[in-house]
C-alpha cells in the first residue's frame, strides 16, 4: 500500500512538511509506504473548465499538476497538507487540486476529504 502526500506549502521544509513527515512516520509503522510531493512555489493556474484534458492530465503543463496526477495513478491513498492563513486552505492548493481532480478525476474517485 502507498500513500501520496501533497505538500501545498511554497516552503519545502516548513511546518506543513513537518506535519506530513509525522504522518509518514506513523504510516511506516503500519507498513504503509508514502511519498511527499512538493507543489513548489511557482504560480498555479486555476482550472477554467476548458474540457481539454488529455490522457496525461491537464492541457496546461506549466506546473506540477500533471506530475502529481501521474503519481496518483499508483497511490492507494492521499493526504493533502496546506498552510492555513485565514481559516481555509491556501488558494494555491485549491487551484492545484481543482485541476488535478478535474483532469485526473478517475484516480481520485473514491477519496474522502476531511479537515482536522
Give how far Cα 11 sits from Cα of 21, 75, 115, Å. 14, 24, 21
In this predicted model, which residue has the larger pLDDT, 87 or 36? 36
Q: Which residues have CB under 8 Å from 23's CB, separation 6+?
A: 5, 34, 79
- pTM for this prediction: 0.88
Q: What is the mean pLDDT of residues 13-41?
A: 96
Position 112 scores a pLDDT of: 58
C-alpha cell at 41: 512555489
Using DSSP's 3-state secondary structure scheme, residue 7 falls into strand
Q: What whole-number percentage of the chain has pLDDT above 70?
A: 94
CA dist., res. 7 & res. 85, Å (int): 15
Q: How does pLDDT run across 32-77, given as a tens digit for each residue?
A: 999 999 998 888 999 998 989 888 888 888 899 999 999 999 999 9
Q: pLDDT at residue 92 above 60?
A: yes
CA dist., res. 12 & res. 38, Å (int): 7
C-alpha cell at 38: 512538493
CA torsion, ordered 14, 20, 22, 23, to nearest 10 deg: 170
Amino acid at each position: 500500500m502507498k500513500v501520496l502526500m501533497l505538500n501545498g506549502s511554497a516552503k519545502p521544509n516548513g511546518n506543513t512538511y513537518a506535519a506530513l513527515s509525522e504522518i509518514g512516520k506513523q504510516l511506516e509503522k503500519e507498513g504503509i509506504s508514502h511519498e511527499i510531493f512538493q507543489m513548489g512555489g511557482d504560480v498555479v493556474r486555476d482550472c477554467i473548465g476548458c474540457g481539454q484534458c488529455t490522457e496525461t492530465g491537464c492541457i496546461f503543463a506549466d506546473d506540477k499538476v500533471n506530475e502529481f496526477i501521474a503519481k496518483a495513478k499508483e497511490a492507494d491513498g492521499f493526504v493533502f497538507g496546506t498552510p492555513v492563513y485565514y481559516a481555509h486552505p491556501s488558494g494555491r492548493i485549491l487551484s492545484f487540486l481543482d485541476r488535478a481532480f478535474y483532469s485526473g478525476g478517475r484516480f481520485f474517485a473514491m477519496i474522502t476529504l476531511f479537515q482536522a
